[in-house]
Amino acid sequence: MAGLSAAHRSALAALLARCGDPVLKAVGGAVARLPGERAIELRAMLSDEMRDRRRRSLVFGPVAPMFRPRADGVAAMTFPAEVLPRLWRLASEREPQLLPRLDDEDEDSDAVVVANRICQAAASIVRDRPDLVWPAGLEPDVRDDGLFDLAACLDLSHLVRRAMPSIEVWLKRPDGDQLAELRLLVKDAAAIHADGARRFVEILFAHLEDAVLVLRIITRTSGVAGREGFLSASELSDFVDRLLDGVAVRATRLAAYTPRLDAEELRSVLRDLDWCANVLAELDVTLTLDPGSPWGKAVRDARLKLADWLSGLMRAAEKAVDKALPLERVQIVGRMSRMAPMLTAPGRGDEADIALALLRLVGAARGASATFGCESDRRALEESLQARLTDYADQVLVMINDDEAPDEDQALRLVAVAARYLEEIGARDAARTVRRRAAVAGGSGSQDGPSSRAA
């Protein structure tokens, strides 16, 4: 059987280059046992592509995260993803005889030396052949600044490579020697470029999934960096501004939230709330803020805004439960009356879903509410709702057992709604008790959830 033609090889090479690593591994597994000369050639191409990616990952590891946007949306220095493979192709062609040394995983090998050398070559290529690295039509509005930043970051890649194994240590409880190592690397970066210290931290920032952890890095680059006055006047102050901007964006997004039972939207709201709480809590720990300073005012305003939003959420949750499981006044004897569950309430639909969504948020806001000073109000609400829902379920079950419920199945559905709400606010024991009593109540055991969407 004839092998792959030149056109086939070219097309396959372009296709493989576009595949992500998981897809590439899946393709490799699919063709591993295929017979024929073409399959052999395809396996060889896959092997070459995977080896090339391992080499690229080793060489450009210090700057690789900068070629994708941050998942949390916080402003950061980034470059177009298309630039990385172009830069690797040009840099790897400079001295192809050095590439096999990158495959040696021995600790005593010179793979790191070769990787640093290729990075320095890549910096020269960015400066000398920018059109091949970053075409004029690719993000032209940031191209000139991007090329300058990329070359400067590559100049610092050898320092970042030394720093990468220590990042986790610096984020925890570094000792004196470890702090000295960080400060020495920052000093070396400043000696390479005028803004080398900021750029060095910028590259480390790209490696942090949790943006707020950068505060621990920047406050440990100097013995007095925990003081707001020192940090606000330094070149690293921009990182604090970015985090506060991220808090402001999320606070605005939370303020515009309209309660509805959408699982993904609820997760997004909780992520935003927890993110803001983590940033504000970390600022309290790492910096001594002056209440009258711009940062101090921004933190105070954000805390108040989010606390007001959370308080409003709790008030809305209580009202939503009253709408979903309403009470009505019933006559007892003569002119005496009392409030009792309205057994004709639907127990499902928009009102029930809104109440469920709000209670889910209230129950999941335990950690954030402490940061915003609302935990006592949240606990009081949970206790009040637990008493309200337990009493509601008890009254409905008594009415069922006394044959006072015109529609037993409907009444049991309302009990199921109350149990679900109890579960959302963390009262799981009370919810189990209600469900056990409902299972033996009356003559029917059929129960449905608050709505098909709530399930």
Closest CA to 219 of 188, 265, 168, 179: 179
- Residue indicated by tokens 């921004």: 298
Query: For residue 227, what are the contacts with CB-CB under 8 A and spacing of at least 6?
Result: 287, 288
> Rounded CA gap, 357 and 355, in Å?
5
Name the pTM for this structure.
0.84
Lowest mean pLDDT among 10-14, 271-275, 315-319, 396-400: 10-14
pLDDT of residue 252: 95
pLDDT of residue 361: 94
Tell me: pLDDT of 39 over 80.
no
> Rounded CA gap, 275 and 279, in Å?
6
> Rounded CA gap, 455 and 349, in Å?
12
pLDDT classification of 445: cutoffs 50, 70, 90: very low
Q: Which helix (H) or strand (E) holds 272?
A: helix 263-286
> Rounded CA gap, 61 and 55, in Å?
10
Q: Are 66 and 77 in contact (CB under 8 A)?
A: yes
Lowest mean pLDDT among 82-91, 198-207, 229-238, 320-329: 229-238
> Rounded CA gap, 251 and 11, in Å?
48
Tell me: pLDDT of 25 over 90.
no
Convert the pLDDT of each residue in 238-287 to its tens digit. 999 999 999 999 999 999 999 988 999 999 999 999 999 999 999 988 88
pLDDT classification of 107: cutoffs 50, 70, 90: low
Tell me: pLDDT of 345 over 60.
yes
pLDDT classification of 453: cutoffs 50, 70, 90: very low
Strand 337-341 vs strand 327-331: parallel, antiparallel, or unpaired? antiparallel
| pLDDT > 90: percent of the chain | 67
Q: Within 13 Å and on the Cβ side, how many CA atoms surround 311? A: 12
Rounded to 5 degrees, what angle do the CA atoms 359, 362, 368 make?
160
Helix-strand-coil split of the chain, %, nearest 5: 70, 5, 30
Largest CA distance in the chain: 102
pLDDT of residue 449: 43
Specify the amino acid at residue 230: F
Tell me: pLDDT of 162 over 60.
yes
Tell me: pLDDT of 334 over 80.
no
pLDDT classification of 19: cutoffs 50, 70, 90: confident
Q: Which helix (H) or strand (E) holds 306?
A: helix 294-324
Q: Are 106 and 47 in contact (CB under 8 A)?
A: no
pLDDT of residue 108: 60
pLDDT classification of 451: cutoffs 50, 70, 90: very low
pLDDT classification of 447: cutoffs 50, 70, 90: very low
More confident residue, 180 or 18: 180
How many helices (H) and strands (E) are present in the chain, helices listed first? Answer: 21, 2
Convert the pLDDT of each residue in 347-362 to its tens digit. 889 999 999 999 999 9
pLDDT of residue 244: 95
